[in-house]
Amino acid sequence: MDSLWRVFQDSVLRLWVACTYLFLYIPLIVLAVFSFNEIAFPYRWVGFSLRWYRELAISAEIWEATKNSLIVAGSAVFLSVTLGLFFVMWCSQQRRGNYLLSFFYPNLVVPEIVIAVGLLSLFVFLNVPLGIPSLIVGHTLLGFGYAVPIIYTRFNVLDKRLIEASLDLGATHRQTFVKIVLPLLMPAIVSASLLVFILSLDDFLMAFFCGGTSAQTLSLYIFSMIRSGVSPVVNALATVMLVVSSLLVMVFCSIKTKETIW
């Protein structure tokens, strides 16, 4: 009797998990499938067609938005990860290092809308032109919230004796940094970069408030398309972005199997 109960429990559990995954993925699969549909709507399957992908490829608006998104994301990653890295290094040499690091923890706790709105009011007050630079500033700020803790966590578990040994053996600080510390921190740097990159690409709130209407990013473009109705070009775009995300996830997971970051 007991084992029957266990089997029942097991199957319920498996069903639960299966349903959850189905629920998570059916909308995405539907999106992808209908990006190949011949007509716009109603949602009947008419025939296979690459028409929407062609439209996607020639859309100047989408390329502009993609270019902007990539510039912002790339800059945000570069700035937050490198500056974050140097910050962690600086903190490690200070006596009150922990105190300085905690300056960055509220980034994850305060709702993004409050941060965005605060930045917007400051920018408006200072007459800062809203556009790509203001957006990069905002995304880098959010990026610090992830990059600093991730890099610091990894740095903390490093064996400090390696650094001491390197210095004792006559290497300069710079050599120690480049040849010892950096490679050891690399998994954290890469996962922080991936996280910030995706965060910036998918971000909507910060772009909505601080991008002005001039800096069109992918999120803003999708938002304006959704607001005007349904367009299969968005389906095609969504499928492309899903593929890109999957690749990034694969990279992230392969790092994760080597180290536990979370």
Which 226-245 positions form the footprint of other proteins (CB under 8 A)? 226-230, 234, 237-238, 241-242, 245
Q: In angstroms, rounded to a whole number, what is the distance separating the alpha carbons of residues 241 and 252?
A: 16
Contact between 93 and other proteins per CB under 8 A: yes
Taking alpha carbons only, the member of 206, 213, 36, 45 closest to residue 111 is 206
Smallest gap from Cβ 162 to other proteins, in A, equals: 17
Q: Specify the 3-state DSSP secondary structure of 233.
A: helix
Given candidates 141, 150, 181, 233, which one binds other proteins under the rule CB under 8 A? 141
Contact between 74 and other proteins per CB under 8 A: no
Given candidates 7, 11, 20, 153, which one binds other proteins under the rule CB under 8 A? 20
Contact between 163 and other proteins per CB under 8 A: no
CB 220 within 8 A of CB 204: yes
Smallest gap from Cβ 252 to other proteins, in A, equals: 8
Contact between 23 and other proteins per CB under 8 A: yes
* Binding-residue pattern over the window 101 to 140 for other proteins, x denoting contact by CB under 8 A: --xx-xx-xxxxxxx-xxxxxxxxx-xxx-xxxx-xxx-x
Binding segment (CB under 8 A) for other proteins, from list 49-57, 152-160, 182-190, 251-259? 251-259
Smallest gap from Cβ 259 to other proteins, in A, equals: 13
Q: Specify the 3-state DSSP secondary structure of 48.
A: strand
Contact between 257 and other proteins per CB under 8 A: yes
Contact between 3 and other proteins per CB under 8 A: no
Q: In angstroms, rounded to a whole number, what is the distance separating the alpha carbons of residues 114 and 123?
A: 14
Q: In angstroms, rounded to a whole number, what is the distance separating the alpha carbons of residues 206 and 215?
A: 12
Sign of CA dihedral 80, 82, 85, 89: negative
Q: In angstroms, rounded to a whole number, what is the distance separating the alpha carbons of residues 184 and 124?
A: 43
Name residue 48's beta-bridge partners: 37
Helices (H) and strands (E) in the chain, counts: 13, 0
Query: Is the peptide bond preceding residue 42 cis, with omega within 30 degrees of 0?
Result: yes
* Binding-residue pattern over the window 31 to 70 for other proteins, x denoting contact by CB under 8 A: x--x------xxxx---------------x----------
How many C-alpha atoms does 159 have within 13 Å on its Cβ side? Answer: 5
* Binding-residue pattern over the window 179 to 218 for other proteins, x denoting contact by CB under 8 A: -------------------x--xx-xx--xx--xxx---x
Q: How many residues lie near other proteins (CB under 8 A)? A: 101
